[in-house]
Amino acid sequence: MASYYTELRKDYLKTWRIWYVINQRCDPKWQRKYMPRHKGTYFAICDEWSRVEYGEEGFINFFDCVGDLEHVSDLHRIDTAKPYAPDNIVKGDIYSRTHRAHTYLTDKAHYARIAYNKGVPKWCYYARLRKGMTPKQAANTAYKRQRKA
């Protein structure tokens, strides 16, 4: 009689392979071998999905959280600075990945969010930058809507 893990693994082979690759990527032996190519990349997995911590039960926990991944090309983290976990995953291909882009962290993008919160429209903020204002000045200058009479 086969175990529940074996039955799941056979029925949902692609889901098992995705779980296995995630665990392999988080293995310290793999990281020593491949991390020189992935400098600054953080790989970790939550304990309940870990093959090291839970063994076969890790795949069962993973399957309970994500479900069937047979028609999904891959599983990605929303925030790459956090480990693979139920609240930090997105299903899809590499084009649907939502990650922290470097453009999101620039001063220009930071002050664009501040300007938006202060009621300055995006077009106005970027027009001010084109005119030569610094991002901080463009975000902190009050916006007054002018209507043509």
pLDDT band at 70 (very low <50, low <70, confident <90, very high): confident
DSSP 3-state of 81: coil
In sequence order, the β-bridge partners of residue 20 are none
Rounded to two decimals, what is the model's pTM?
A: 0.58
Same domain, 40 and 75: yes
Q: Is residue 34 part of a domain?
A: yes
Same domain, 65 and 115: no
Question: Would you say residue 1 has pLDDT above 50?
Answer: no
Q: Which one-letter amino acid corresponds to residue 14?
A: K
Q: Is residue 147 part of a domain?
A: no
Same domain, 92 and 135: no
**Angstrom distance (rounded) from CA 81 to CA 48:** 19
Same domain, 37 and 80: yes
Same domain, 130 and 60: no
Same domain, 115 and 43: no
C-alpha count within 13 angstroms, C-beta hemisphere, residue 106: 8
Q: How many domains does the chain have?
A: 2
Same domain, 82 and 21: yes
Q: What is the pLDDT of residue 38?
A: 54
Same domain, 58 and 122: no
Same domain, 50 and 122: no
Question: pLDDT of 16-63, one tens digit each?
Answer: 998 998 888 888 777 667 665 555 566 788 889 988 888 889 999 999
Task: Provide the domain limits for residue 129.
Answer: 102-140
Q: Strand (E) positions, 1-88?
A: 75-77
